[in-house]
Amino acid sequence: MASGREIKTKIKSTQNMRKVTRALEMVSASKIRKAQDLMKASRPYARSMRKVIAHVAQANTDFVHPFLQERETVKRVGYLVITTDRGLCGGLNSNLFRRLLPVIREWQDQGVEVDVVAIGQKAIQFFRRIKGVNLIGSTSHLGERPKLDSLVGVIKVMLDAYLANRLDRVFVASNDFVNTMTQKPSVRALLPLPVVAAEMLGASGESTHAPDFAVAGLKLEQKHDWDYIYEPDAATVLEHVLGRYIESIVYQGVLENLASEHAARMVAMKSASDNANKVIGELTLIYNKARQAAITQEISEIVGGAAAV
């Protein structure tokens, strides 16, 4: 059995650790409301933009934007991966990587090369260690109120590569905020738009996503062919709208991930604090037993010495 001094040292260190986890839990609890408000405020725009763009992908128009053309052969794909900058948020990032890696390996088994743009320090560190994946761009430390200006650069890297035919498909991988206890990793198509429309329609003509996802409830009707009247012309309108579509989806992914980060950290730190309380209780019990055994031994020695005299 460890000595009383060693046990007291362990109790003290566990108490210090509990102070840290409680502080982190309270910080995340204070920030999660603002993060949820930002996320919920931008959801309607992102959902509407995704639905309109999916309809545009099915429209009949004389002008065909490169984003609307699905390429027959896929030689290289790109992924925009959104993670956190800091750790101590449970399995949030690791669950996303476990969801993403099998998809990447499937492409690689088909001889397709994979490019990655990392948003968040954890994604940057992770993909620097992964062989066979090209990290072509990165950004991090977006703060508690992410700005679209900080994302334009990395988004442009992907769009330029796609327009230059260096990429044949683009996906975005992030965590969807469902509720405080649940965050689900997702990998969704971003380009080309026919793939986005097919992903939303699925095989049954309805949205393939569960009702707790950010894009839940998006349904495309195929009763007639979609068409639009463009002013001043289709090229100008589509160039602007499609750019806003890409930015809105990526920005929404960042906000969803931010809310998921604070929720996951709050839950993880509360669990850590509860475990620390349990450890402190067990160590205190051990310390009391050791102290009682030492007192009993001293009494026995005193009684034995007195009897010998």
Residue 67 per-residue DSSP state: G
CB atoms within 10 A of CB 228: 14
Catalytic, 89? Answer yes
Contact 211, 217 (CB under 8 A): yes
Which pair of structure tokens corresponds to residue 181?
């206890």
Planar angle of CA 278, 283, 286, nearest 5 degrees: 130
From the list 89, 157, 258, 264, the catalytic residue is 89
Can you list the pairs that 101-106 forms with residues at least 24 positions away whose Cβ atoms lie under 8 Å? 103/187, 104/79, 104/133
Cα–Cα dist 259/252, whole Å: 11
Question: Rounded distance, CA 193 to CA 65, Å?
Answer: 10
Sole residue written with tokens 């088994």: 109
- CA neighbor of 174 nearest in space, from 165, 186, 163: 186
In what helix (H) or strand (E) does residue 209 lie, and over which residues does it extend? none
Sorted by sequence, the CB contacts under 8 Å of residue 147 that are 6+ apart come out as none
Distance in angstroms (rounded) separating the CA atoms of residues 182 and 57? 32
Q: Are 101 and 126 in contact (CB under 8 A)?
A: no
Q: What H or E segment, with its residue span, contains residue 207? A: none
Q: Are 297 and 4 in contact (CB under 8 A)?
A: no
Starting at the edge strand found earlier in the chain, the sheet holding 113-119 runs 133-139, 113-119, 76-82, 169-179, 182-191
Q: List, by residue number, the catalytic residues.
A: 89
